[in-house]
Amino acid sequence: MQGLTDEEVMLEYKQGRIEAMDELLRRYKNPIYHFALRLGISVAEAEEITQEVFLRLHSNKDNYAPSGKFSCWIFSIAHNLCLDKLRKKKWQCLWPRKDDDSEELAEFPSPDPSPQEVASSNEISYILKDCIQSLPFLQREALILREYQNLDYQEIAKILKKSLGAVKTLIHRARINLKTKLTPYIEELRGG
């Protein structure tokens, strides 16, 4: 199973081989989970999204036709679910529900840095996270798909349902914005 391409594994799963799901999970559960997390979705929600992606994959396996890349298909599902979740979150942020205390706390953290934050404030990953989260959603998503999922521009365009030129622009702007934001923190970026 390991020597097969993603499309072939999916076709195997379509034909009823349960092991194919294990292989798909091995290959894609963490990329999707990380994709959701890096987009700014909480751990619990990212896990929920990952589960939902695989549930949809299972429910739509009969309709699957290997017309495009499998990674495109699965990330398209993840993209749609993340978009839904963030939209919902946006409204919840404006009108937080009383029963979502935990989410409320997550959305409105204390202005004082927590001990963990203080400890990690110097770490570049914390700064990176903060800067990436401050990017516009599409720029953020395009950049994450490129940098962390290693998808080419054509695939990103399909996932985001944008033109190739638009994706190029999104990634370029994301990098410029990120460079500007990170310049105060990264010595190497200051030179020039």
Nearer to other proteins, 79 or 146 (CB): 146
89: exposed, middle or buried (Cβ count in 10 Å: 0-12, 13-18, 19+): middle
Chain positions contacting other proteins, by CB under 8 A: 21-22, 25, 29-30, 33-34, 37-38, 43, 47, 50-51, 54-55, 58-59, 84, 88, 94, 111, 124-125, 128-129, 132, 143, 146-148, 152-153, 168, 171-172, 175, 178-179, 182, 186, 188-189, 191-192
Q: What is the CA radius of gyration of the chain?
A: 19
The two structure tokens encoding residue 153 = 């521009």
What are the backbone dihedrals phi and psi of residue 185, each rounded to the nearest 5 degrees, phi first?
A: -100, -25
- What minimum distance in Å lies between the beta carbon of 126 and other proteins? 9
Q: Which is closer to other proteins, CB of 29 or CB of 162?
A: 29
Shortest distance, position 25 Cβ to other proteins, whole Å = 6
Strands (DSSP E) contained in 46-128 are none
For 46, 121, 138, 144, the CA distances from 107, given in Å and listed in that order, are 15, 19, 21, 22
- Note the residue count of the chain: 192
Q: Give the shortest CB-170-to-other proteins separation in angstroms.
A: 10
Smallest gap from residue 132 Cβ to other proteins (A): 7
Pick from 34, 32, 22, 24: which is nearest to 52 by CA? 32
Closest distance to other proteins from the beta carbon of 23 (Å): 11
Q: Which pair of structure tokens corresponds to residue 50?
A: 């990952």
Between 8 and 147, whose beta carbon lies closer to other proteins? 147
**Closest to other proteins by CB, 184 or 191:** 191
Q: Which residue lies nearer to other proteins by CB, 86 or 128?
A: 128
